[in-house]
Amino acid sequence: MTSYTDSFNDTVVRAYDEEFPLLMPKWGYVVSAFVLFLIGFFGFFLNLMVILLMFKDRQLWTPLNIILFNLVCSDFSVSVLGNPFTLISALFHRWVFGHTMCVLYGFFMALLGITSITTLTVISFERYLLVTRPLSSRHLSSKGAMLSILFIWTYSLALTTPPLLGWGNYVNEAANISCSVNWHEQSMNTLTYIMFLFAMGQIVPLGIITFSYVNIIRTLKKNAQRLGRVSRAETRATSMVFIMIVAFTVAWTPYSVFALMEQFATEGIISPGAGVIPALVAKSSICYDPLIYVGMNTQVSSCFL
């Protein structure tokens, strides 16, 4: 009789009395479920706290905070629409919600992820205009903020809808406890969509963010001795957005590298169990933004005093 130890290989375990193969050891699913619970718990309550604060104090509804509110809502939606499904799947050691829900889950998580980085990109460019052209009368208004949010969601939908129409697709990933873009299929259809998604969903946003902050830093250094050009509050808000961008980039870079390796590296170089790690790190990004927002936004932090 084959022992449990003998049935274990580098990536796949078939447990006794189970119909489906385990793509990582059982303890890996337990750890994943625990981490997902923490991410979902803190992501839910931290973002909910910011949402309630925004509705409590109407003075917080500045143009910048309106766009940041969109980011908070996106993170909150991940904690509500995303984490429960992956948590339950981790407890059952596999995706248990069927193919249709897998596609919908993959679509919504991709949509919310692109929405987050696009929101940070729009805010970065707004900070660039404010700092480098402080005397301009064309600064962001509340109406402009709402139009920016409309653009953010339209842009994000344009990037994440194609798999629903046949260009690319959404499949199981991360040891079969989650669903996302099909990173590993070696086909022209998949490859072209992945290149499109990376170009428009990461390279272009990061290019705009880099351009914005390089010019912001140059302007701040140049005008350091000139009082009244950029207020201390605006400088602090600009720094807050920069830290949000750094946190988001740090959280999502491992997953981006993993996705590219899945498509271009030798097949099987990353085990399903190892693939769970960057996915969990990326999901944890929903916890950082509310902490940074409350900690560095003087208007919000004053609500606790």
Indicate the pTM of the whole model. 0.85
For residue 209, the domain's CATH number is 1.20.1070.10
Name residues whose C-beta falls within 8 Å of residue 98's C-beta, 6 or more positions apart in sequence: none
pLDDT at 122: 93
Q: 12 lies in a domain? A: no
* Tens digits of residue pLDDT in 8-51: 343 444 443 355 677 788 888 999 999 999 999 999 999 999 89
What span, in angstroms and rounded, lies between the C-alpha atoms of 209 and 199? 14
Neighbours of 16 (CB within 10 A): 6
pLDDT mean over 241-256: 88
Return the higher-pLDDT residue of 189 and 138. 189
What span, in angstroms and rounded, lies between the C-alpha atoms of 7 and 29? 18
Site of tokens 């969109």: 70
Element (H, E) at 173: strand 170-173
Q: How far is CA 161 from the centre of its chain?
A: 17
Confidence of residue 298 (pLDDT cuts 50, 70, 90): low
Q: 22 lies in a domain? A: no
State the total domains in the chain: 1
Q: 17 lies in a domain? A: no
pLDDT at 153: 97
Burial class (CB in 10 A: 0-12, 13-18, 19+), 188: exposed
Site of tokens 């193969």: 21
Q: 46 lies in a domain? A: yes
pLDDT at 107: 96
What span, in angstroms and rounded, lies between the C-alpha atoms of 82 and 282? 12
The phi, psi pair for 179, rounded to 5°, reads -135, 145
Cβ proximity of 238 and 226 under 8 Å: no
**HSE, side-chain direction, 13 A CA sphere, residue 6:** 3
* Percent of the chain at pLDDT exceeding 90: 42
Name residues whose C-beta falls within 8 Å of residue 156's C-beta, 6 or more positions apart in sequence: 111, 114, 115, 118
Return the higher-pLDDT residue of 24 and 224. 24
pLDDT mean over 257-277: 78
Element (H, E) at 1: none
Model confidence at 138: pLDDT above 60: yes
Could you tell me which of 197, 303, 304, 300 has the C-alpha nearest to residue 255?
197
Q: 32 lies in a domain? A: yes
Q: What is the mean pLDDT of the chain?
A: 83
Return the higher-pLDDT residue of 205 and 131. 205
pLDDT at 17: 38
Residue 49 belongs to what domain range? 28-304
Could you tell me which of 159, 180, 170, 200 has the C-alpha nearest to residue 255?
180
Could you tell me which of 200, 194, 168 has the C-alpha nearest to residue 262?
194
What span, in angstroms and rounded, lies between the C-alpha atoms of 245 and 111? 18
Q: 71 lies in a domain? A: yes
Cβ proximity of 77 and 160 under 8 Å: no
pLDDT at 12: 41
Model confidence at 259: pLDDT above 90: no
pLDDT at 87: 93
pLDDT at 79: 93
pLDDT mean over 292-304: 68
pLDDT mean over 260-269: 75
What span, in angstroms and rounded, lies between the C-alpha atoms of 40 and 260? 26
What span, in angstroms and rounded, lies between the C-alpha atoms of 82 and 94? 15
Q: 177 lies in a domain? A: yes
Neighbours of 211 (CB within 10 A): 13
Q: Letter for the amino acid at 44?
A: F
Q: 84 lies in a domain? A: yes
pLDDT mean over 233-249: 82
Model confidence at 226: pLDDT above 90: no
pLDDT at 225: 55
Cβ proximity of 17 and 74 under 8 Å: no
Q: Of 38-52, 93-107, 147-161, 271-285, which range is least confident?
A: 271-285
232-264 helix and 188-198 helix, angle to the nearest 10 degrees: 170
What span, in angstroms and rounded, lies between the C-alpha atoms of 157 and 86? 23
Neighbours of 5 (CB within 10 A): 6
